[in-house]
Amino acid sequence: MNSISVIGAGSWGTVLANLLALKGSQVRLWAYEKETVEAIAKYRENKPFMPGLALSPNITPTNSLSEAVGAAAYVILVVPTQFIRRILEKAAPLIGKDAVVITAAKGVERGTLKTASAIIRQFTGNEIAALSGPSFADEVAAKRPTAVTLAIAAHSTHVHIIQDMFYTEYFRVYTNEDIVGVELGGALKNVIAIASGICDGLGLGLNARAALITRGLSEIIRLGVALGAKENTFSGLSGLGDLVLTCTGNLSRNYTVGLRLGRGETPAEILSDMKTVAEGVETSASAYELACRTGVEMPIVEQVYKVIHESRNPDAAVRELMSRELKEEFRHG
């Protein structure tokens, strides 16, 4: 069976590792935290990040990157986008030249404004794929029906191998050639999810949330197309699908950040007691800078950025959005 390395033992990394291991693959699961490795080895359970999920004996936990990636045919990066660079600085020289590197991150790096695949390309010439779509870890762990997208070059000999590698009766995998669009859809929806949480935290109602999700999708499409993505990608699982899930599901970390912002908490207060990373917090800054650089109008992203990074009052952000110049729906922002 396939030899697989999963880098990142948070909830999603653990669930993906277990899904693959239950199918018979030998999986090395790398964690930064020593206590996480010890808990998995001792209890066959990731108590810090995914308590209650019994882990397959085919998973070998490790703190060693060389042990994790050295012999892997597939290396799956499931760490926050802001940490990928520092991981690859150490891991890239250890990855076999024929291995496929798969990213499951959903963000845009601050400063460089690069997606995960673009960061990976700076370190290795290996083939790259991206896995994205509406997929809460808890529901996949419970084997509830889920569908995702695997983005990989059409000519790749690994397309169907990886598709089959992840596929189960409860985890359906579609393929897509548009890596840029799939990654941007997964990253930018987190920013809109924060806005959706703010909307609900302020008690603005379902009409407001529906409008925000719809206009948020328009912003994602505008920026995505400007950066080379295919427009129809954003009507798929990694676009509309993930956007709807993250903007409405209470399991979403990004939605929860927004909800708490809308209820009056500060970003510092919220982030200080979060155990896991909400990618949209950092991506809001990257997305706003991308919008400014490309000249793409993204008013919702702009207001989320200002609420998080410039301490703008959420009520004032909503008033500015609602008082903008009236426009045609499909010709302007």
d(CA 208, CA 87): 40
According to DSSP, the β-strands at 146-151 and 127-132 are antiparallel
The secondary structure element, H or E, covering residue 115 is: none
**Please, which residues bridge with residue 175 across strands?**
150
23 is annotated as an active-site residue: no
**Residues in CB range of 33: below 8 A, 6 or more apart:** 9, 48
**What are the angstrom distances between the C-alpha of 1 and each of 22, 32, 150, 248?**
11, 26, 20, 38
Three-state secondary-structure class, residue 93:
helix
Residue 75 exposed, middle or buried by CB count within 10 Å (0-12, 13-18, 19+) = buried
| From 90, 189, 306, 327, the catalytic residue | 189
Active-site amino acid positions: 189
